[in-house]
Structure 1
Amino acid sequence: MIENSIIESNASATSSSVDNIVLALDGESIILKNPSISAEYDLPDEDQSGQSSSTNSSEKGIKPKKLNISGLIEYSTPDRLSRLIELSYQTENGGAKKLYRVANATANVINLREAVFSGKVSVSPHSTLLAWQISFTLSERKSVPEKRETRARERAQENGDETVDAVGEEMPEETAEKEERSWFEENILAPVNDALG
């Protein structure tokens, strides 16, 4: 009991330095103590060499990126835990999992913009602190490769191409460039550039 009181008083004394807002979902801050966030994604392929020494392999698509998040929520702030659980259960109108805009430095670096809660959400009492140890995973949706594949398939169907699955994942450079242009570049600079030749 004494140990817990000491831990609690120490935690409250250093609260401002330990509470970290490192993640926001749709602009709502997820406040954790001692947060840990890691990213992972798979680039699966299949060996095509058979019995030979060839290094040929077939790609099996770029899989969704994932953010693994863990941290502590103190017993004194149960509303934070309740809200996190509530967010994990949110659904869209059609019943699908709620898609969140993700704001986080690691997510930004790996270009993960939108994600859903995925897999297991774990909540357990910490062994020595007056806090819950929580962990959860956010899995990417509507990734850039996925959007490219979808557009490539739609173009193939519009052109009457029956071999839709054979369409490459790469977007034509012109389309990719157009996507990356801002409104200013698209509507002001591009016409001026074309006029100047």
Structure 2
Amino acid sequence: MTLLLDGQKVRGKGLKVSASLRIESDDMSGQTSNTDAAHKGFKPKALTVSLMIPFVDAADLKQLMSMAEATANGGQRRVYRIVNDTAATFGVRQVEFSDNLTAREDDSLAAWRVQFTLTEKLSTAERVETRRPSNPVKQQSAPGQPVASAAATAAGNDQGTAAQPAELTGFEAVLKRLDDSLA
């Protein structure tokens, strides 16, 4: 198995690549035994790489470290095009180093056990999400007519002019006549 990042081979022995896809969801059952869950999307795929680099090949570890520390314009982590069978099977084309890169000495061999994580960049789900048209924001309004402001009503009363009466329903008209006769 080989692993190429921008055409540069990651050198080491016993190279193993494992891939994972995290599917984010939240439990919606509350205090019940319901099994409903809220789908929160697909997170970027991650490739965990483990290999062994002999002490005599220290330059290979230095090269791997420099690739992990590389930055692009603006100080962003560098994005690499990846060539690997597992990555291709998962549909991963571009990756960047993430989480940890660890190198520990092996107990019995004169070598480092190296492990690091590559996270997918510009995933298929991310590209689909950016192409999807956004939902336009709709202005909300309540049914009925707007109520006149208190200041306008007070100004009308101060001038001695009566405010324009609003249209009354049949029942309201009966109540108004009753109120007027009692007054």
- Is there any run of 5+ residues in structure 1 with no aligned partner, and where? 1-20, 164-197
Asked if 1:30 corresponds to 2:10, the answer is yes
For residues 50 and 81 of structure 1, what CA distance do their matches in structure 2 show? 49
Give the C-alpha shift of residue 54 in structure 1: 3.1
Among all aligned residue pairs of Structure 1 and Structure 2, give the percentage whose two residues are the same amino acid: 34
- Is there any run of 5+ residues in structure 2 with no aligned partner, and where? 139-183
Greater gyration radius = 2
The residue that corresponds to 2:64 in the other structure is: 84
Secondary structure at the residue paired with 1:120?
A: strand
1:133 to 103, 108, 113: 113
The residue that corresponds to 2:36 in the other structure is: 56
The correspondence of residues 6-45 of structure 1 with structure 2, limited to 5 A, is 22-45=2-25
Asked if 1:124 corresponds to 2:104, the answer is yes
For residues 131 and 51 of structure 1, what CA distance do their matches in structure 2 show? 52
Secondary structure at the residue paired with 1:34?
A: strand
Asked if 1:144 corresponds to 2:119, the answer is no
TM-score by structure 2 length?
0.71
Secondary structure at the residue paired with 2:41?
A: coil
CA RMSD, Structure 1 to Structure 2 (Å): 1.5
The correspondence of residues 75-114 of structure 1 with structure 2, limited to 5 A, is 75-114=55-94
For residues 134 and 25 of structure 2, what CA distance do their matches in structure 1 show? 25
Residues 156 and 162 in structure 1, CA contact (< 8 A), matched pair in contact too: no
The residue that corresponds to 1:185 in the other structure is: none
TM-score by structure 1 length?
0.66
Q: Deviations over 1:43-91 (max 9, x none)?
A: 1211222344432211011011101011111111111111000000000
Bigger relative contact order, structure 1 or 2 (CA pairs below 8 A, ≥6 apart): 2
Secondary structure at the residue paired with 2:59?
A: helix
The runs of 4+ residues in structure 1 deviating greater than 4 Å are none
Q: Larger % of helix: which? A: 1
For residues 57 and 140 of structure 1, what CA distance do their matches in structure 2 show? 25
For residues 139 and 130 of structure 1, what CA distance do their matches in structure 2 show? 30
For residues 14 and 102 of structure 2, what CA distance do their matches in structure 1 show? 16
